[in-house]
Chains A and B, each alone.
Chain A
Amino acid sequence: MILILQVFPLPLSHEFPNDLARRPALVVSAGVRYRMSVASRAVAAIAGGYGVAALSAAVLALGLPALFDMARSEAALTGTLVSFLVYAVAVMWVFAARSAWRAWTGLAIAAALQGLLLLLWTQGAGGAA
């Protein structure tokens, strides 16, 4: 992914061609920062988004039977079907967020909340069984 980002000149490096000649140091560092930010978001979107989606599949698979008395196989299927949409929304969030840090933070909060629910239900189920 990062390799690909290196190959393709990203938009910002083209936006100020004249400035590049006048003040190389500053703009290059801004360009590098931009690329790092895009790379960070790409990792957040691909890996982080998958993590959040996987957690959502697990949370729905455990939560739907607990909350709505759904059959276990039905809940597991529903969770899996929904998780791909969660993934898409997570990726969009990552690239819509104002900064890469905000993007990561948002993912971390979503993951932590779902992890908590997961922990709650696995413990609860373990206690009941």
Chain B
Amino acid sequence: MKDGFRQSMAWLHTWSGLLVGWVLFMVFAAGTASYFKDEITFWMKPELHAISHGSVAQAVAAENAAAYLNRNAGNAARWFITLPTAREPAVGVLSIKPPPPAGSPPAERRRGFDRAALDPATGQAITAPRETRGGEFFYRLHFDLHYMPALWARWIVGFCAMFMLVAIVSGIVTHKRIFKDFFTFRPKKGQRSWLDAHNVTAVLALPYHAMITYTGLVTLMFMYMPWGPQVAYKAHGGTDTFFAEAIPGGLRTQIKPSGTKAALAPLAPMVAQATAHWDGAPVGRIVVHQPNDANAVVSITRAEGRHLSYEQPSMQFNGTTGALIGTFGDVPKAAAETRGVLYGLHIGRFADPLLRALFFVSGLAGCLMVATGLLLWAVKERQKYAKALKQGGRIGFGLRLVDGLNLGAIAGLPVAMAAFFWANRLLPVDVVGRNEAEIRWFFIVWGATAVLGLLRPTLRMWQAQLALGALLFALLPVLNAFTGPAALTVSLRSGPSSVAGFDLVAIALGLGLAGAAWLVERKRRKALAAPRKAVKPPPPTELTASAAAGQGS
């Protein structure tokens, strides 16, 4: 490509990073937020803040959920019951409707499920909270994007993730002085400072970045790379057999209905038996296949936590007699466990609050790495126009496009995310299609910032959008105080601690964005002062030298 291996890797790093950087920034930001998606959802339902949930025995909660589902979804194809945890006090239930008769329009097939949150003590649906997607929106945005079929979105995100993996590996190869670079920061040196900032944010959390990119691909690997199982199982029962062998007792289990009605056996003894089998570890999820059918099967999965792996051991029971069918995953196989651990690392549900916070900070470092990388490209490219600009010329279309997209993606996204939270509290509680309305506000605001950024990609605009984001985030606790029962002064003293945590993080993000806006202000002042000083020709060596140093460092 270019002379030398490192030079061509630097080229590859620059271009593969640029082309997918904007999508990656959003994926990183949404993914980072998703570490606390339960807490975000809780914050976005202020009606729940004043209610304190006493702990309810798991067997009781399971029985209550089954009773609710029997009343409301007795003929469903499957029930999913997620038992409460410390982070999510409500019971989550989801029922999948039986498949529609063949030949029905596709619109009917799509929304084939019902979801509800139940009070574990009473088994009644919690209807008080406002309708909101909450943190789930960021979680889905992270890999399903929005306003497009999920399948396309996953291929797009996977494509970008693969680029990212290439950018990371080639980035490592580019830096032979990786440890020295980590301790190098040359502030106020223009391009060098951006390069150092990019290196520091990248190297600081490098294990995290490499892990999160690779494990991200692993989470959807059967979709991206189905060929191994397909070839290996072609003559051995197809991929269904593969999943049954590789991940026994997993969610892909399919049970056909017999057509004969039979009452579902009580869940409480099964929950008790499973917990006893796992040395007292709590139950996480209960799946009832074909409830109230003679073929019913109850699958009980251990709660996450304590183990890195995403795949938890599970037990299956006969749904009509309550007899144990089998236990799965008690002694996982090596490769299956490897995949489970990689998957688990990506979603980080095993982590206690402190480790989760560390993941969150690493995710923020990832956002900064992508952002500084994108800006570094623009700064380097601008130098090529230095002479033309001085003679009153204009920058090229590509650079202008990158400038605008950088502005809309990097400065605009925080504004949009904050706007999502503001919409959550300011939209009327009973407006129709409320959760979609919140999401619409997110995209309206992001679209507006992107359009403004593309129209006027100036330092003034950077400053305005960063300052707006800072203001919106920093004032979220104030908004919370006026629109919910748990203001920061209350939540810090008597909980709920997750609401206090959300408010504190919002203030921190606001301060961070304000700091960025302040940096831009200084740069703008300098740029304004520069032309007056630059009557004499500036020393040319610095520019060319740093341009030559470029990626080579």
Contact = CB atoms under 8 A, between A and B. Distances in A.
**A-B interaction:** yes
Interface of A: 4, 7-9, 11, 14, 41, 53-55, 57-58, 60-62, 65, 71-81, 83-85, 87-89, 91-92, 95-98, 118, 122, 125-126, 129
The 3 A-B pairs with the shortest beta carbon distances in the complex, nearest first, are A61-B228, A79-B228, A57-B228
Interface stretch (B7-15, B132-140, B409-417): B7-15
9 contacts: A7-B398, A61-B229, A71-B333, A72-B242, A74-B333, A84-B218, A88-B162, A88-B165, A97-B1
B335 interface: yes
Interface of B: 1, 5, 8-9, 11-12, 16, 18-19, 162, 165-166, 169-170, 173, 214, 217-218, 221-222, 224-225, 227-233, 235-236, 242, 245-246, 333-336, 338-339, 342, 384, 396-398, 401-402
Given A80-B222, A126-B235, A60 B398 contact: no
Q: Is the interface of A mostly helix, strand, loop or mixed?
A: helix
A109 B1 CA distance: 20
Contacts, number: 129
Given A41-B1, A95-B9, A73 B242 contact: yes
B336 A60 contact: no
B373 to A, nearest CB: 15
B246 A95 contact: no
B396 A58 contact: no
A38 to B, nearest CB: 8
A79 to B, nearest CB: 4
B6 to A, nearest CB: 9
A61 B218 CA distance: 16
Contact of A84 (B16, B217, B397): B217
A97 B9 CA distance: 11
B231 A122 contact: yes
Contacts of B396: 9
Given A80-B229, A81-B335, A92 B19 contact: no
Nearest to A95: B12
A4 B229 contact: no
Q: Interface centre among A8, A41, A89, by most B CB within 10 Å?
A: A8
B336 A125 contact: no
Contact of A62 (B170, B221, B232, B336): B232
Given A81-B338, A91-B162, A91-B166, 14 more contacts: A7-B401, A57-B228, A71-B245, A73-B333, A73-B335, A75-B228, A76-B228, A76-B242, A83-B227, A84-B224, A85-B214, A95-B8, A95-B11, A96-B9
Contact of B225 (A8, A54, A78, A118): A54
Nearest to A72: B232
Contact of B1 (A57, A95, A118): A95
B336 A74 contact: yes
A61 B242 CA distance: 11
A118 B234 CA distance: 13
Contacts of B333: 71, 73-74
A72 B221 contact: no
A60 B335 CA distance: 13
Contact of B170 (A7, A87, A92): A92
Nearest to A74: B335
Contacts of B227: 54-55, 57-58, 61, 83
Contacts of A8: 18, 398, 402
Given A9-B398, A84-B221, A62 B233 contact: no
A66 to B, nearest CB: 11
Nearest to B169: A88
A36 to B, nearest CB: 14
A129 B233 CA distance: 13
Nearest to B11: A95
A83 B1 contact: no
Nearest to B16: A91
Contacts of A92: 9, 12, 166, 169-170, 173
B110 to A, nearest CB: 29
Given A83-B228, A84-B225, A92-B166, A72 B233 contact: yes
Given A53-B225, A62-B232, A88-B166, A14 B384 contact: yes
A77 B233 contact: no
B331 to A, nearest CB: 13
Nearest to B401: A7
Q: Interface centre among A71, A80, A81, by most B CB within 10 Å?
A: A80
A77 B225 contact: no
Contacts of B235: 125-126, 129
B541 to A, nearest CB: 19
A61 B231 contact: yes
A76 B233 contact: yes
A83 B169 CA distance: 15
Nearest to B377: A8
B145 to A, nearest CB: 19
B231 A96 contact: no
B80 to A, nearest CB: 25
A81 B221 contact: yes
A43 B371 CA distance: 27
Nearest to B159: A46
A81 B340 CA distance: 11
A61 B18 CA distance: 35
Nearest to B165: A88
B245 A73 contact: yes
Nearest to A77: B335
Contacts of B401: 7
B236 A72 contact: yes
A41 to B, nearest CB: 7
A85 B221 CA distance: 12
A2 to B, nearest CB: 12
A88 B333 CA distance: 26
Contacts of B1: 41, 95-98
Nearest to A10: B15
A76 B166 contact: no
Nearest to B214: A84
A126 B235 CA distance: 8
A44 to B, nearest CB: 12
Contacts of A96: 1, 5, 8-9, 12
A40 B18 CA distance: 19
Nearest to A75: B232
